[in-house]
Amino acid sequence: MVADVIVIGGGPAGATISRILAEKDVEVQLFEKKKTIGLPVRCGELLPHPSEMRRLFPKAKDAEKLIEPPQNTLANITEYTELIDSMGNKIKSRFKSNIVFRDKYDQALVERAMDAGAIIKCDSPVISVSGNGSVHVKHMGTIKQVKARVIVGADGPRSILTEGVRRKNYEFAICFTTIMDNVNVDADTVQMYFGKEYAPGAYAWIIPKGDHIANVGLGIRKRFTNNLKIKKYFRKFVKEHPTASNLLDGGRIISSSSKLVPIEGPFSDTATRRGNMICIGDAGGFVMPHVGAGIPSALLTGRIGAEAILKHLRGESELSNFERLWRKEIGNRMKNSLRIRKFTDSLLLNGSISSFFNERAQQYFDHLIRCEFPVSLRLFNFYLNLKNKVKSLS
């Protein structure tokens, strides 16, 4: 079998790039290892509202259009985001979000790709990739070889295409996600909880889906933990946090899952050195490191990747042009997100994150949540880094 483009992975990135290419009459085959698209749910199910996307990604084309979810996938619309520390201190910012049913959302994006003409095959894991433009796919118990002019990795942070490209010491966060019902949460507000006792190196969240249902989860990073398993941190958060425990008392877990989240920005080579391959979404490390959000950048790199492939197929540019295109549109925001994550790391290492947020967070929260890193914070970050170096030498 031969195709113009093979896409590995049927999440938002893979579905988006497949749809756009198919709309341009490119022959696309998408292979997804899951039997059912979108399951299990492995994220917070939050999308920035289109009204927020322009400020989040000011240089990205079609950002507002891409982020608009299909109406039948929408669970709730929130108006605020609240930041809560381990003592229960709170600050609140107006930030509008669409909360989706992630399984329905992913399925709707794949259906759009199919309607455009893309061939979608589920329960079809790609087991190997060759530099000559071919992949080996296991489908219905049989291994088949499929060739293409371009291969796209959209298969998550451990993409089969990034073996040998991703740095060995690249850091991932571990996330545990649940859907809970019978919870007493504010349907208008997304809550983010910081504190090493509950989510060391990352944060916990309560994201309301309406009808007393919420997406509840947390992330941890190994170098900040006390060697506890993530489920123990989750139980501690649900049962002991001075704010969350009251909201979640009596809650029942409907489903749960875990995943790895890239938190150091895009990998070093997202247009792989093989020359005919690119990686998009989580597979390329395109996750906002300071909040672990991956859907907006998955959609955007899907669209940018499609643009690069179309130019390549027409003989107008090398496929490596993908690197230049994404850096131009979203590169600065990815850098800012990493800077913010490193800034919060400095606060954690100094044991001063609570005092910082108590004294200054309201002033800066609106900026940080929108991936803006003001000069005053950069100067404060420089001071913290210097303080950490002096501390390590003493």
Tens digits of residue pLDDT in 367-394? 888 998 888 777 877 777 777 676 666 6
Does residue 247 come out as left (phi exceeding 0), alpha (psi in the -120 to 50 range) or beta? alpha
The predicted pLDDT at position 314 comes to: 96
The predicted pLDDT at position 392 comes to: 65
CATH 3.50.50.60 domain extents, the chain: 2-44+57-77+100-169+263-332
Residue 285: is it exposed, middle or buried by C-beta count within 10 angstroms (0-12/13-18/19+)? Answer: buried
Task: Tell me whether strands 2-8 and 172-181 are parallel, antiparallel or unpaired.
Answer: unpaired
The predicted pLDDT at position 86 comes to: 85
Count CB-CB contacts under 10 A for residue 282.
29
Spans of the chain, pLDDT less than 70: 1, 164-165, 273-274, 349-361, 388, 390-394
CATH class (in words) of the domain with range 2-44+57-77+100-169+263-332:
alpha beta
The predicted pLDDT at position 388 comes to: 66
CATH 3.30.9.10 domain extents, the chain: 173-262
Instruction: Tell me the whole-structure pTM to 2 decimals.
Output: 0.94
Instruction: List pLDDT tens digits, range 106-150.
Output: 999 999 999 999 999 999 999 999 878 899 999 888 999 999 999
The predicted pLDDT at position 351 comes to: 57
Q: Which fold has domain 173-262?
A: D-Amino Acid Oxidase; Chain A, domain 2 (3.30.9)
